Structures are given as C-alpha cells and as structure tokens.
Amino acid sequence: MNGLDNFSQEELARYARHFAIPEFGIAGQGKLKAARVLVIGAGGLGSPLLLYLAAAGVGHLGIVEFDRVDASNLQRQVLYRVSDIGKNKSEIAKTQLLALNPHISVETYNVALTRENAIELISKYDIVADGTDNFQTRYLVNDACVLCEKINVYASIFRFEGQVSVFNYPHKDGSRGPNYRDIFPEPPPPDLVPNCAEGGVLGVLPGIIGSLQASEVIKVITGIGEPLAGRLFLFDAAAFSSRILKFGKRPDTKIETLIDYDQFCGVHTSKPTDIKTIDPLELQQLLDTTESFSIIDVREPYEFGIGNLGGQLIPLGQIIENAEKIPNNQKVVLICRSGRRSAKAIRQLQEQYNMKNLFNLEGGLLAWRDAVDGGMEV
C-alpha cells in the first residue's frame, strides 16, 4: 500500500539513493517508472541524456534516430564504441540502455522526424527531450509539442557553449509556459551558424549539457524543484561561466499547424539553379577517364586529413583570396562534407569573378561515401 509493491527487490536496491532523498522517495521513483519520454536524437546530447534517464529508472524511453555511428562521433557520443562504427545508432543505444537497466522499456524509431510523422510519434509520450543539431528539427519539435500539448525539454550545444530550457510547461491554472518560438521567433540565416560538423564542439560539453537536460526531465516528471520554464540557461565551458535569461510568451506567437521547416529556415533542398552540380557516380566516371579536370576541397585541413579525394585544399574562408589558384580553362569540382560549403564557395566565386567552370559535388563526401566508397572517413 505504500508504493513499495510497485518495485521488485532488484529495483529497490537499484534506486536506494533516490528513496533516501526525502523530497523524492518512493513517490518520485514511481513517477519516473510510469513516465514516457521521447528523446529526439541519440548523438552528443542524446548519449548522456539517455544514459542518465535509463539509469534513473524512467520506465518508457523512445528514441528517434536514423543516423549510423561514425568515427567522428566517438569524441563525444559516449553511448558508442569503435566496434559500433557503421551500425544504426538507435539500435546500439537500445542495447546499451537495457544492459544498463533491464527494468525499463526502450522503443526505437529508425526514421528522421518529419512533419508527416511528428504528431504521431510525439503524441505517444508525456515529455519530449530535444537533442537535435539543426534549426529545422528544433522548430518542428517545438511546434509539434505545442500542438500535442507536450512538454519540450530543450538543449543545444556549439563549440564551447550550451543552452537548456523547458518549453510549453503546464501551469496550475491550465495555461502553458513559453515555447521555443517565444524566445527564438525566427531562425538565423542558414549560413550564419554552422552545424557541429563544420563548427566543432568540445567533447565534454554534450556530457555537461545533456546531464543538465536529463536533470530537467527528471524534475518535470517528479514535480521536484523549479524547472527552467520561461528561463534559458546559458553555459560557457571556456570561461566556465553561466547565466540565466528570463523570457515570456510573445503575443504574436501562433502555432496552428506544422509547416515546411526547410523553407522556413532557408534551407534549400532543391538544386540551386545558378550552380552546376555533379553527383558522386558522375565524379567517379570522371576520375576513371583521362579528361583533365580539378578538384578543390573547401573543408578545413583537419577534415582533409581524415579523408579526401585528393585535389587542392582551399578552405572556404580562404577561397576568394586564393581564387587565382583555381583553373579557369577546365572543369573544376568543389567538394566539402555535405555540399553546403562548396555551394557557398561556388556562389562567392561566381559573384566575384564570374567563373563559369565550377561544379558542386552534390551531397558532398557524405553522398560519395554512400554511393561510391563506404569505407571513407569523413
């Protein structure tokens, strides 16, 4: 009758330190066991987040993750090992979490979150924890949580800095707290903020921020403490400083349906009409011929050292000042990891020097790896 009968003897031993906290106790652990939490992304943030939620005894975890383990993930994504490279992240995560705590259930969704499936997936859970790394998905998660009336525990990381907040938190009067659009009504220009692959991230930062995110999830579930609703926690690992920004609801924030988030965030999914492209198979055919052409790699030197197709290394930030090194009498293929930076380089060169002989490797080296060389490190 006191709630102990909800736990096995093994669980009573496992959660003993929670039971010992007066404000937590059996009731708090019971709430964790009954909770359903959907984690979007099992990467840098998702790794510590999932590990701590599983260890704490959150009874039902869902994981939305379609990516595979890459060697470059291992610097910060502590769920994975060298032997996992090439394997699906969600399935590896499930195996690891159940090995850590066999008293929970884990359901995986090996798909990208889209406006077609977001409502269906999110509606099955009590709380969503957003560990994604792009603005399109962040706005999608936020809007779907608002429409489904779900709490969104948000975190993000970049280089040395991290953020944590709790969006759409229900108050006692039935109203909801501010959401992501109340503090970030518009996304930044797509070329202003690079992703982690392009901008980098300190390896330990996801562990710090992901643990704080897990703490907020646990607080929300148990009702203990004051969640970061209407507050944005900012952390700078380089300066070892933190601050909290308070924000409220914007009267002009209206979310009535899911939209085209690529278009909203200025991400062009179609080929730019002003940029000529070449796909990986076409490039492979070109490499197999005797036709004279050049490859310009616009990534950073450390990326080039991980894996490359040869050619000349001219990082994007130096492309204009080194334009004279690019031949103008033959086909030139510009490449980067995803095709974004090389497209930007081509646009700059076209605008500045009216160069007409440039081709962008469509999808970048990621597409090359998928279509031509599965063993290539990028």
Q: Closest Cα to residue 294, out of 240, 344, 215, 359?
A: 359
How far is 134 from 147, CA to CA, in rounded Å?
20
Asked if 127 and 149 touch (Cβ cutoff 8 Å), the reply is: no
> Which of 145, 148, 196, 265 is the catalytic position?
196
**Cα–Cα dist 207/353, whole Å:** 45
The one catalytic residue in 145, 148, 265, 336 is: 336
Question: 336 an active-site residue?
Answer: yes
Q: Where are the alpha helices (DSSP H) in the chain?
A: 9-14, 16-19, 25-34, 46-56, 89-100, 118-122, 135-148, 180-183, 196-199, 205-222, 261-264, 280-288, 301-306, 340-353, 364-371
Q: Is 258 exposed, middle or buried (0-12, 13-18, 19+ CB in 10 A)?
A: middle
- What SS3 class is residue 127? strand
- 196 part of the active site: yes
Query: What is the set of active-site residues?
Result: 196, 336
